[in-house]
Structure 1
Amino acid sequence: MSHTLLIKNMVCARCKMTVLQVLKDLGFKVQSVELGRVVVAERENYDYTNLEIELNELGFELIKETTEAMVEQVKIALIETVEKGDADFILSEVAKKLGKNYSALSKTFSKHEGMTLEKYLINLKIEKVKEYIQLQQLNFSEIAYSLNYKNSSHLAKQFKSVTGMSMTDYKVLQNWERKSIDQIV
């Protein structure tokens, strides 16, 4: 038998490794690790109190509430989508993936996070744009295409409205003020 733990702010491969190490150090028998989710073998003598303390010290949090778990699943789905560069992605697909009604999911997300799903996705994309600019991997048109923008001018307008500066200014300044993904909301 197994038990699933949902963990907030677990948003990258490094996070997975860190959480896995904490669990192993505390004697948990880990069966699988995914972003935001860990499956452990069921045992009565696990020390969940120390696990919670250790995770909190590292910026993670055990999720206990159903609504919070759903919001975290939405965030993970959106983060994975942006990281994959899924140009054909539509927000309503997140709801389908989670087996929820999009309208209800959107309202729950907005109420819980104080930001709409659309705004959260835009902020994720803008942080990805900053990463691409900093790493000089793609030109502006390629960045726009990879993040599902109709054209680079649409991206440029959105970038400026979120950051207050143009993409060119951001590139020239080389003041790489980026937010970590878990700090967007």
Structure 2
Amino acid sequence: MGYFRIQYNPIEICRTVITERLTVLGISFSMNAQGALRVHGKLTDENRLQIDEALKPYGISLIEKESENMVEGIKYAIEELLDSPAVRTEKVSAYLSEKLGYSYSSLANRFSEETYTSIENFVILRRIEHAKNLMLLGGISLTEIAHKLDYSSVAHLSRQFKKTTGLTPTTFLRIIEKRKTPDSPNHTE
């Protein structure tokens, strides 16, 4: 069996799914850069249910509460920031303020009220998830991962990784490799 890596853009996949599903339903719409959906014309309860049902199998759901929309917009913008090398050099606070059109303090307050964590902590968690995914894909060193995710050093990445997961990156990789080994008691296919 051969192994290969798949590279994909989750934002683009989401846009494509929404476009395909709503076109099939015959619903006229537009999406902004943050992924906010605007339905043109009157949106009936039946339309809302149709949209919900069409998108639910893909893990996509409608959010109507303004505060939830803002939080989702923040999360979406952070993912975009982490996925785009050209954008990652910007400060998170400046990027979010410009992207969402609110002061960073307003965004930070709303985010922490809704999620019980700070934007900074969320960014760290997402960066560590990205690091774990890159490690799982293989073929890239910790130095390259640290550089790709804009850590100042491998040591900085390792400290945040351990603080977040309780494991060093090396231990994490060792556990993953052990699970892949056919004679391992924890081996999964």
Q: TM-score by structure 1 length?
A: 0.77
Deviates more, 1:154-163 or 1:57-66: 57-66
Aligned mates of 1:61, 1:131 — CA distance in 2: 24
The equivalent of 2:92 in structure 1 is 91
2:119 to 109, 117, 120: 117
- Give the ranges of 4+ consecutive aligned residues of structure 1 lying more than 4 Å apart after TM superposition: 30-35, 43-46
Mark the runs of 5 or more structure 1 residues left unpaired by the alignment: 1-10, 176-185
The equivalent of 1:75 in structure 2 is 75
CA gap of 1:90–1:137, structure 2 versus 1, over 3 A, is farther
Aligned mates of 2:109, 2:32 — CA distance in 1: 29
Aligned mates of 1:44, 1:173 — CA distance in 2: 50
CA deviation after TM superposition for structure 1 residue 19, in Å: 2.1
Structure number with the higher strand fraction is 1
Aligned mates of 2:62, 2:125 — CA distance in 1: 24
SS of alignment partner, residue 42 of structure 1: coil
Aligned mates of 1:105, 1:41 — CA distance in 2: 28
Between the aligned residues of both structures, percent identity stands at 27
Contact 2:34 2:77 in 1 (8 A): no
Aligned mates of 1:100, 1:76 — CA distance in 2: 15
Amino acid at match of 2:16: M
The equivalent of 1:168 in structure 2 is 170
The equivalences for 1:23-102 within 5 A come to: 23-31=22-30, 36-42=35-41, 47-85=47-85, 86-93=87-94, 94-102=96-104
1:139 to 129, 138, 141: 141
Contact 1:20 1:33 in 2 (8 A): no
Give deviations 1:102-154, integer Å, cap 9, x for gaps.
11210110111121101110111011101111122431122112212111101
Aligned mates of 1:83, 1:100 — CA distance in 2: 22
SS of alignment partner, residue 37 of structure 2: strand
Amino acid at match of 1:145: H
Q: Which has the higher contact order (CA 8 A, sep 6+)?
A: 1
Deviates more, 1:71-80 or 1:57-66: 57-66
Mark the runs of 5 or more structure 2 residues left unpaired by the alignment: 1-9, 178-189
CA gap of 1:44–1:97, structure 2 versus 1, over 3 A, is closer
Structure number with the higher helix fraction is 2
Q: Provide the aligned C-alpha RMSD in A.
A: 2.6
CA gap of 1:42–1:106, structure 2 versus 1, over 3 A, is same
CA deviation after TM superposition for structure 1 residue 163, in Å: 1.1
SS of alignment partner, residue 62 of structure 1: coil
CA gap of 1:16–1:114, structure 2 versus 1, over 3 A, is same
Give deviations 1:36-93, integer Å, cap 9, x for gaps.
3334443567722221233345422212122111111111110001011344231211
Q: TM-score by structure 2 length?
A: 0.76
